Amino acid sequence: MVELKLKSNYQEISNSSARLIAKKMIRTTNPVIGLPTGKTPEGAYDRMGQYYREGLLDFSEVTTFNLDEYYPIKKEDPKSFYQYMNEKLYSQVNLKRDRTHIPDGSIPHSKVNLHCKRYEKKIDKAGGVDLMVLGIGENGHIGFNEPGTELHTTTHLAKLSKETMEKNFSSLENTPSHAITMGLQTIMQSKEILLLATGERKAGAVEKALLGPVTKDCPASVLQLHPNVTFILDNGAAKNIDFA
Ligand code: GLP
């Protein structure tokens, strides 16, 4: 069952999603939150920083697991999701660094499988993800689970589609061709899922995810099988959805 929330602009999406994340943090003992990167969640991270500065939210008992990281990439690389998270959230709130987790894009290739297994174990050990926050790619990807990804996947090394690489990097020279990403099964094991989408560019993917068949061709469509999912959309992203 997917619940839909329609918002009139990006600011409202950001406010609403930050409120839902804050509520989950306040109501859960030792909350575990799954986090995305990309343009879409930036406003929500901004609000969460604001809540913290105003003394409304305490992150000291919060554990986070990021969805994905490019591979190969160094932590210091400005394109890395590690740098993104540092800038947008970690440096803005009182998260304990040993409670934040991002797949390591700098480990040797021979150790990637082991690293992925350990990432899954860490999620299990933390008690599973209480709230997984997602964006969505224009091709329906979630995390870096591109079209064609099997539904039973756990954290794994994924090849980026040409389309995703072109969208994410201004030039394709010296850019990572892969990513380590939570799999679709990892995402589906979260207790609750929140997906944010904004702008008409996402309307096709949102339509397929919500109304299309559950298929590998649109990885986000698997969310139809989850018992507790909310999509927060603006008018552009919801363009093809009839709310009547
Ligand atoms: C990226 C990330 C996804 C993100 C998506 C949309 O490639 N791996 O987690 O949700 O693309 O990004 P944006 O919010 O910038 O549109």
Q: Which atom of ligand 1 is nearest to the CA of 167?
A: 7
Least confident of 48-52, 150-154, 158-162: 158-162
The predicted model gives 144-167 an average pLDDT of 93
Residue 139 Cβ contacting ligand 1 at under 6 Å: no
Instruction: Say whether pLDDT at 240 is over 90.
Output: yes
pLDDT at 243 over 90: no
pLDDT given for residue 244 in this prediction: 66
Separation in Å, CA 142 to CA 164, 178, 220, 221, 223: 12, 15, 6, 10, 10
Q: Which atom of ligand 1 is nearest to the CA of 136?
A: 10
Region 3-8: mean pLDDT is 96
Which residue among 80, 141, 155 is best mutated to probe the pocket of ligand 1, counting the most ligand atoms within 8 A of its Cβ? Answer: 141
- Work out the pLDDT band at 38, boundaries 50, 70, 90: very high
14 lines ligand 1 (CB under 6 A): no
CA distance 123 to 130: 10
Q: Give the position, in ligand 1's atom list, of the atom nearest the Cα of 164.
A: 7
- Range in 15-19, 154-158, 169-173 with the lowest mean pLDDT: 169-173
DSSP state letter for 63: E
Indicate whether 171 pLDDT > 90.
no
Say yes or no: CB of residue 144 within 6 Å of ligand 1.
yes
pLDDT digits (tens, 9 = 90+) for 124-142: 999 999 999 999 999 999 9
User: What is the tens place of the pLDDT at every residue in 218-238?
Assistant: 999 999 999 999 999 999 999
Average pLDDT taken over every residue of the chain: 96
Residue nearest to atom 10 of ligand 1 (CA): 135
Residue 170 has a pLDDT of 79
The pTM score is 0.97
Q: Cβ distance 4 to 241 under 8 Å? A: yes
52, 21 Cβ separation under 8 angstroms: no
Query: What does the pLDDT read at residue 107?
Result: 97
Ligand 1 midpoint to CA 36 (Å):
7
Separation of CA 84 from chain center = 13
Q: Note the pLDDT tens digit of each residue in 172-185.
A: 777 899 999 999 99
62 alpha carbon – ligand 1 mean position (Å): 23
